[in-house]
Structure 1
Amino acid sequence: MKTKYLRAAILFFGTFAPALTQAQQTQQPDSIDLFLRQRMQAQHIPALQLAVIRQGKIVKLNSYGTANLENSIPATDQSIFSINSITKAFTGVAIMQLAEEGKLKINDPISLYIDSLPVSWQKITLKQVLTHTSGLPDILDSNEQILENANENLAWKKVRTLPLEFKTGDQFSYNQTGYVILGKIITKLSGVHFTKFIEDRQFKVADMPLTRFGDSFDVIQHSAGAYTMVKFVGGKPVRGNSPGNAYIQFPVFFRTAAGILSTAKDMANWIIALKDGQLLKQKASVETLWAPAILNNGKIGGFNQLTNGYALGWPTVSRAEHPAAGPVGGGRSALFVYRKDDLSIVVLTNLMGANPDRFIDEIAAYYIPEMHQSNGFGLAPAIRKLRAELLKQGFDQSAAIAASLKKKDPSFNLNENDLNGWAYQLLSENEVAKALSIFRLNVKLYPESANAYDSLGEILEITGNDQEALLNYKKSLSLNPENKNAVQHIKALSGS
């Protein structure tokens, strides 16, 4: 649909440009620096920190942009960022530390450690809680606010009156209640509050001097703050043209779910400590930590096509090539540990909605070139096979080549969404002619898809072919009378 590309174009050609730190001004930028500055400009990201780890060492550490927009304070390696739900990965490590000490087993029911649970909760295991497959009712309401105005006792009392959302193990559903329960268990079994247990057993051990628990209420030296492109107007979220302040609080009892603030360097030290046995003594413990949960139907579940699984506090990027354990937080921070490669990458930003998990693979590609999007990495197997033939024979032959591949292999199937996504990727890379051929192929293969015609209408309009664009928007609307995007563009193109 039209907004997918034009929004990106508007952002990219906007006037916002990240400031350079003093170190950046004196260092010769490499390809990664140039790539990140482009992304920051395109997405209006005020500040970003990067750490790259190879062979147990930090091989690249840099900070970009402005940590504090109000006072024009540049980001440095000392700037402190909220990592939001990456905190859950620390909770997962804490649970495995207790498991190594024999104080719990991850397949134990939570009722073994917590009293006065509803009957329907009592057989739910620690693992199911950690992996968001428990079915527990969420302690957050529909507006993502903690129940009962974040009063711990009242919220805990209220959530226990709510029914399970689904049969335990049937699906993945992101849930904060389980992590509140984990905090109670860590505190009970360790003999100290869970925040202190994590501070003592992870922050201190891994050499993380700038890492702490906190939120927007706390006065934190060198804080990079929090910004958002979205504000509420008339009760509805509206995307603005420049970042505005965001304010988030995490009550102490909620801080197993979110609430850690850190730096890219500290996070890199944490990854190194985890991989070399300082935090968990047994390699099997780390493997368990990073193994995605298997649902009752034998599949895995996660946030999206990229982070498509969830392990013990760790989202996973489960795929045949370059799989990763990939915690993400607040749509603003992410880290990927590439499990089969000697590579880990940390990206912290201060913009909610920056979603660095979407471009970490491209950073990795500067170390593993086959991972560049331009080389086809991340595409579905059928799309990659099609791409290889198109590069040999020409994109103008896309329909004939697709038919030939299908004739040779009856199991060959081009998924509509995969094709549409690849076409938009080509468009974002300014490969307009190639993108147009793929959009046309998608319409040919899926002639009853309103979205396929809508997307084709978009690129035709972009390339100035208004009359053909109008025809495609009309076809899309006939297939889906509720397509408001098509209605808007039909009006614009027809002058009515």
Structure 2
Amino acid sequence: MKHILLAVFALQFSTTAFSQQTNQSKIIDSYVKEAMKNNKIPGLALGIIKDGKVIFEQYYGTENLEDLKKVSPTSMFRIYSTSKLTANIGIFQLIEQGKLSLEDNVSTYVENFPKEWQNVKVKNLLTHSSGIPDFIAFEDISVDDSNAKVIERLSKEKMEFKTGNEFRYNQTNYMLLTMIIEKITGQSFDNFIINNQFSDVKNQVCFSSNSLEQIPNRVQKYNYNNETKQYEKTPFDNGVRSHSGNGLAITLPAFLQWSRHLSNHDLLNQNTKERMWTPFGYGNQKDVFAYGWEINKMNHIPSYGFSGGNVSAYRIFPKNKMAIVMMSNGYNFFPAQYHIVNHIAAIMDKNLTDAYSIAEESVIAGFAQTNNPNAEKNYYAIKAKNPKWDFDGTLNNIGYILMRNSRTEEAVKVFELNAREHPQSGNAFDSLGEGYFNAKNYPMALKNYKKSLEMDPQNTNASHMITKIEHLLEAKNK
């Protein structure tokens, strides 16, 4: 009798769990479709792993807009800076093998390392605390330049800050990590990563930072052209040295398999992962970042991940035995990768609810709808429940997005709202002045630029615009 009762209980539990999972999947599916609509995302792939199993894997929209090919399991999305996670793991694989140490000086592995960079260690590259100049900031550095030539060019620039003092996102760090990997292994970066992290899905991944290269099934990112009102493929070639920083293209099944390997300790052992996810001790004691991974905490539950190109994101929740993969190919209104991951995490587990993120997403969605009379009401309703929440930056960004989309009248209303909400913010009034200027309401633009300058006498933009508008008004009155 006891065995029968246990069997019945197990069956009931299994049925309940399946029903709950099915309901969650429906909610997630509905939410993703709405998020895509609000942000005009052409195509998207989403996967969720829970307790070692893929419990959600769906494909939405079009892989490309030229022939409207649908997103599918064979679609290889470019994940841009999310590629860095594979480089991070590659470095820690070498550390685990005893071939490398976080405390090693980079000069041990890179020839002709500039004297000013001698204190930079491997840990500083992973944590973006090196202070080395970022090569993408210099137009005279060509994608065809050798790594040695890039280093020689950057050595002529001053260090950006004292090594170890702060976090500053920097692509040079990953160029140097690539050089270290290739020096130690004697392999190309691409081969080392594919052989050691994607050996069972080699035909579903590739490295190329050249958007112009024709690669079967690779999904390109689209940028929205506000003048033509159309999406256009990204035309950039970042060169081979950018592969570790932004070059990976991968299918959703391959990404999910990689995530399962990570959770199952196939890529790194548990102690190494915990070390990799430990917060780095920055000198300024303000910045928070692990060794190549963003750290997020909700209700003291940690998660780790990264995003890329505003179109991809990965987040792993070790304590929840869960991971979320999101990949897309563009957006028209607002970069949605963090909101999407946060929202899905909350659907999966209410203890992972980031209430501010979900509220911010609601505010954005309201203003994304053309001439939505309820957008401002929705904002005030959210603020009434949470008076301490500040949406200054969000409203400012929404205003500029609306202007870029030729929705100037709506942009001015959002800038006005932000100025009312932040009456002591010189930046809010500067933006309102710009909104009125674009609407060709020069008297109101002048008034708000002057108010901005009163609050912030160092605002050179306001000074310049005041002079410009005064000349326009004088010419108009002649």
TM-score normalised by the chain length of structure 1: 0.69
For the 8 Å contact 1:94–1:198, the answer to whether it is kept is: yes
Instruction: Find out whether 1:360 has 2:341 as its counterpart.
Output: yes
CA shift, 1:29, in A, is 8.1
Residue 174 in structure 1 maps to residue 161 in structure 2: no
1:293 aligns with 2:280: yes
In the alignment, is the contact (CA less than 8 A) between 2:127 and 2:291 conserved in 1?
Answer: yes
User: Does 1:213 pair with 2:194?
Assistant: no
| Aligned residues of 1:379 and 1:422 also touching (Cα < 8 A) | no
Residues in 1 aligned to 2:59 and 2:383: alpha-carbon distance in whole angstroms:
45
Partner of 1:191: 186
- Mapped pair 1:134 → 2:139: no
Amino acid in structure 2 at the alignment position of 1:85: S
- The answer to whether the 8 Å contact 2:119/2:163 transfers is no
Percent identity of equivalent pairs: 28
- How far did residue 370 of structure 1 move? 5.1
Which amino acid in structure 1 is aligned with residue 42 of structure 2? P
Report what 2:198 is aligned to.
Answer: 203
Aligned partner letter, 2:205 = T
How far apart in 2 are the matches of 1:74 and 1:398?
42
Seen in structure 2, the aligned counterparts of structure 1 residues 453 and 186 have a Cα distance that, compared at 3 Å, is closer
Check if 1:346 corresponds to 2:312.
no
Alignment of 1:120 onto 2:116: yes
Aligned letter for 2:452? N
CA RMSD between the two structures: 4.2
The structure-2 alpha-carbon separation of the partners of 1:141 and 1:278, relative to structure 1 and needing over 3 Å to count, comes to same
Distance in 2, matches of 1:120 and 1:337, equals 37
- 2:267 aligned residue (274, 279, 282): 279
Q: Does 1:448 align with 2:424?
A: yes
| Structure 1: segments with no counterpart, 5+ residues | 1-27, 231-237, 301-308, 381-393, 403-413, 428-435, 458-470, 489-495
Partner SS state of residue 59, structure 1: strand
Larger helix fraction of residues = 2
3-state DSSP of counterpart to 1:323: strand
Q: Does residue 100 of the first structure (1) align with residue 96 of the second (2)?
A: yes
Q: Which moved more, 1:84-93 or 1:39-48?
A: 39-48
Partner of 1:265: 253
Choose from 224, 248, 253 the match for 2:236. Answer: 248
Q: Amino acid of the residue matched to residue 425 of structure 2?
A: S
Displacement of 1:479 after TM fit? 2.7
Aligned length: 401
Q: Greater shift after overlay, 93-102 or 164-173?
A: 164-173
The 8 Å contact of residues 226 and 247 in structure 1, kept in 2 or not, is answered as: no
Give the AA of the match of 2:102: I
Q: Give the TM-score normalised by structure 2.
A: 0.72
Where does residue 66 of structure 2 map in the other structure? 70
Which position in structure 1 is the counterpart of 2:149? Answer: 154
Q: Write the distance in 2 (CA, Å) between the matches of 1:178 and 1:447.
A: 41
5+ residue gaps in structure 2? 1-23, 361-379, 400-412, 434-442, 454-460, 470-476
SS in 1 for 2:204: coil
- Structure 2 residue identity aligned to 1:276: N
Report Cα offsets for 1:72-94 as digits up to 9, x if no partner. Answer: 11111111111111111111101
Secondary structure of 1:340's aligned partner: helix
Rounded to whole Å, the distance in 2 between the matches of 1:456 and 1:161 is 41
Secondary structure at the counterpart of residue 296 of structure 1: coil
CA contact (8 A) 2:304 2:317 kept: yes
TM superposition shift of 1:213: 1.2
- Deviation of 1:396 (Å): 12
Q: Which of 217, 223, 228 lines up with 2:218 in the alignment?
A: 223
Alignment-derived partner of residue 433 in structure 1: none
Q: 1:474 to 1:288 in 2, by over 3 A?
A: same
Secondary structure of 2:256 counterpart: helix
TM superposition shift of 1:472:
11
SS at match of 2:137: coil
Q: For 2:155 and 2:90, how far apart are their aligned partners in 1? A: 25
Question: 2:246 is paired with a residue of what secondary structure?
Answer: coil
Question: Is the CA contact 1:133–1:173 (under 8 Å) kept in the aligned structure 2?
Answer: yes
Work out the CA distance in 1 between the residues paired with 2:118 and 2:396: 47
3-state secondary structure, aligned to 1:116: coil
Structure 1 residues 61 and 160, CA, compared in 2 at 3 Å: closer, same or farther? same
Report how far residue 340 of structure 1 moved.
3.4
**Contact kept in structure 2, 1:453 and 1:472, CA below 8 Å:** no
Q: Within 2, Cα distance between the matches of 1:212 and 1:277? A: 23
Q: 1:480 to 1:456 in 2, by over 3 A?
A: closer
Partner of 1:189, secondary structure, is helix
270 and 240 in structure 1: CA distance in 2 versus 1, 3 angstrom threshold: farther
Contact 1:209-1:266 at 8 Å conserved across structures: no
Contact 2:46 2:325 (C-alpha < 8 Å) held by counterparts: yes
| SS in structure 2 at match of 1:77 | coil
Q: Which whole-Å CA distance do the structure 2 matches of 1:140 and 1:312 have between them?
A: 22
Tell whether the 8 Å contact from 1:179 to 1:257 is kept in structure 2 after alignment. Answer: yes
Q: Name the residue aligned to 1:306.
A: none
The amino acid across from 1:357 in the alignment is Y
AA partner of residue 349 (structure 2): I
Cα distance in structure 1, aligned partners of 2:188 and 2:49: 31
Contact (CA 8 Å) 2:82, 2:306: kept in 1 or not? Answer: yes
Answer yes or no: is the 8 Å Cα contact 2:132–2:160 preserved in 1: yes
Q: Secondary structure at the match of 1:327?
A: strand
CA drift of 1:150 comes to 3.0
After superposition, the Cα gap between the structure-2 partners of 1:477 and 1:158, relative to the gap in structure 1 and judged at 3 Å, is closer
Change (3 A) 1:419 1:72: closer
Aligned counterpart, 2:309: 330
The answer as to whether partners of 2:44 and 2:60 remain within 8 angstroms in 1 is yes
How far residue 121 of structure 1 moved from its aligned partner, in angstroms, is 0.9
Q: CA deviation at 1:38?
A: 1.9
